[in-house]
Structure 1
């Protein structure tokens, strides 16, 4: 094989990676839009909806900031809004009373179930593929998220 053929293969691989990246961004954008629409139907701003869907147990405000990729000071306003709606409460952390944990109320649990159900229904129609294709896509995405397999090749070439 000529060195030129390797260069063509690299260019083709780069083009495929660029296309994959674009497609994944488009898919996530559409899923986000569907999630935001489901949240709006329930009268929730997107950030409050994200907190509800990710909150499965008491969580410190810092963890919520990590989920939302924002500063902890921004989380205060989001949690204030959820608290005004009666969907969460703040409770002192068991080991450190200075740390506040956000906890879903019964109404919050109910709203979270509604939100997840609506978002899942929209996602189901979005991924309307034959079962084997849907499973294959799931498996491929799981492999991508898991990262490259550990190399067992100890030779440096």
Structure 2
């Protein structure tokens, strides 16, 4: 069996940079097709995992709470999300994806043509391996998916 070539961490960092740049460009274009900014699209994507408190959303998206308020206000006006009191603490507002918001997330994912074309070059086993590796590298951000 041939020995795998040695790849140093700097090479991986560069590949991550190129890969994530391509992904972000693809994502931004797909979100724009839905008349959404990348930040709005990312917010909807985070909410597709389930309701999130406003503070938790700001933490997850690494932005100021006032920015999240503006993003949620705009998404709420479009009927893509709604605010609900948290069952555990009525002072806390959870943000919930509406059925229209779910459709927007699906449309964004469906229009990520460059990313999908790249993933289509992998077979099922390779996709499972990539998933496991990325999950391991980015454990804190990937949750249980």
TM-score by length of 1: 0.73
TM-aligned CA deviation for residue 126 of structure 1: 2.7
Q: 1:137 to 1:19 in 2, by over 3 A?
A: farther
1:23 is aligned, of 3, 9, 15, to 15
Hey, what does 1:136 align to over in structure 2? 126
2:118 is aligned, of 123, 126, 131, to 126
Higher relative contact order (CA 8 A, sep 6+): 2
In the alignment of these two chains, the number of paired residues is 132
TM-score by length of 2: 0.78
Hey, what does 2:87 align to over in structure 1? 94
In structure 2, runs of 5+ residues without a counterpart are: 1-5, 138-145
Q: 1:95 to 1:140 in 2, by over 3 A?
A: closer
2:110 is aligned, of 117, 142, 150, to 117
Q: Which has the larger radius of gyration?
A: 1
Q: Confirm or deny: 8 A CA contact 1:53 1:115 kept in the other structure.
A: no
In structure 1, runs of 5+ residues without a counterpart are: 1-12, 148-157
* Secondary structure in 1 matching 2:84: strand
Q: As a proportion of its length, which structure holds more helix?
A: 1
Hey, what does 1:68 align to over in structure 2? 61
CA distance in 2, matches of 1:110, 1:22: 34
